Amino acid sequence: MASIVGHLDLDAFFAAVEELENPALRAGPLVVGGDPHGRGVVATANYAARRFGIRSAMSCAEALRRCPHTVFFRPRHALYRSYSQSVWESVRQVVPTVERTGLDEGYLGLGEVAADFLRARELGEAVQAAVRGATSLTCSVGIASCKVVAKVASDRRKPAGLVVVPRGREAAFLAPFPTRLLPGVGPSAELRLRRAGIETVGGLAGLSDERLSLLLPGKVGRILRDRARGIDARRLELGSERVSIGHEETFEQDVSDRAHLHGELRRMAERVAALLAEKGQAARTVTTKVRYTDFSIRSRSTTRPAGLDDAETIGELACSLLDRALRDRPGALRLVGVSVSNLAPYRQLALATTGS
């Protein structure tokens, strides 16, 4: 069966939920994030706020400077999870096979229920209608022959857009976009490519083996060039949904003291472990996230064969990952966070471990 993949992305999800809870907020700019008078960061901005240049990961202080009449809300994650559950329940009524990659986005196995791209478009429209009917939220959908193209397509006509890239048009569709829009191209790869005069996905796709090995050596470079050409063999991951449980905090002042940072991580690990206990789950992957004073972000992860659910072990791993990140790039931090993923019911992970 030929592959047809959809990528669904809820539009300005956190902000859209807040607007549903209080329709009066739709009249103006809205940011969900931290304290605009402190060191908070924008998690989501509604489209009215985006017209002022406000975007995710920007400091809330900068967002306030750009638009002083913006309304700021602290995130309400339990509320967002509730809406997300309703969204994905409605999606599965139309497309049974789904890989969730977050509360607000995921891939759809359209090839299982659509014989061609015309039928896939109809299903994409049905998914949008189902989400709107169940929650009043809008979503954008990209449809293509593979994951990477579908993900890029879902972001092209927000909000409530539907973009279909027929088979054979993948490379031509991707070619004009800046390299940074290609999933997997981070800031350092973008910089290396730009210094070499390559600023578009098409330019990356056209690199020879020799030049690619100089600019982006190793397996990663070959993967990124394949993606730039619209080639992506990844299948939907259905074993476990890649939704993580985590906690992060922005400091009032930049912190460089290692003992202080370790203490913060251990405290967050206790909160994460409590959330795991509430859900009856364990996790195999622990991730530590750090944000430096220039707002750049680094994360380090480790995956264990057995599921974890205790605060002490999660905290130990989180501290070790922090040390790794700071060895790679020393410096004071404005934010640290701990998250766990590869989640499954605790009993399931325990049985899998003892049976191996």
> In the chain, which stretches have pLDDT less than 70?
1-2, 239-243, 346-356
What was the pLDDT predicted at 327? 93
Token pair 């985590």 is found at 246
pLDDT at position 67 is: 97
For the chain, where do the domains classified as CATH 3.30.1490.100 start and end? 245-354
CATH class of 5-12+78-169: alpha beta
CATH no. for 245-354: 3.30.1490.100
Helices (H), the chain: 13-21, 47-50, 60-66, 77-92, 117-135, 147-154, 170-174, 187-195, 201-205, 209-215, 219-228, 258-279, 311-328, 346-354
Give tens-digit pLDDT for 87-141. Answer: 999 999 999 999 998 889 999 999 999 999 999 999 999 999 999 999 999 999 9
On whether the CB atoms of residues 18 and 120 are closer than 8 A, the answer is no
What pTM value is reported for the model?
0.74
Say which CATH class 171-228 falls into: mainly alpha
pLDDT of residue 18: 96
Would you state the pLDDT for residue 225? 97
Active site amino acids: 105
pLDDT of residue 299: 86
What pLDDT does 1 receive? 47
Element (H or E) spanning 250, and its range?
A: strand 245-255
Q: Which of 47, 107, 110, 59 is nearest to 335 (CA)?
A: 59
All CATH 3.30.70.270 domain ranges in the chain, comma separated: 5-12+78-169
Q: Coil, strand or helix: which one is 78?
A: helix
The SS3 of residue 215 is helix
> What is the C-alpha separation between 105 and 140, in angstroms, rounded?
10
Whether the Cβ atoms of residue 182 and residue 152 lie closer than 8 Å to each other: yes
How far apart (Å, rounded) are the C-alpha atoms in residues 163 and 170?
Answer: 12
Start-end of CATH 3.40.1170.60 domains in the chain: 14-75
Quote helix, strand, coil % in the chain, to nearest 5: 45, 25, 30
pLDDT at 243: 67
Q: Cβ neighbours of residue 82 under 8 Å, at least 6 residues apart?
A: none
- Amino acid at residue number 150: A
CATH architecture of 14-75: 3-Layer(aba) Sandwich (3.40)
The answer to whether 111 and 4 have CB atoms below 8 angstroms apart is: yes
Numbered ranges of CATH 1.10.150.20 in the chain: 171-228
Structure tokens at 293: 């004073």
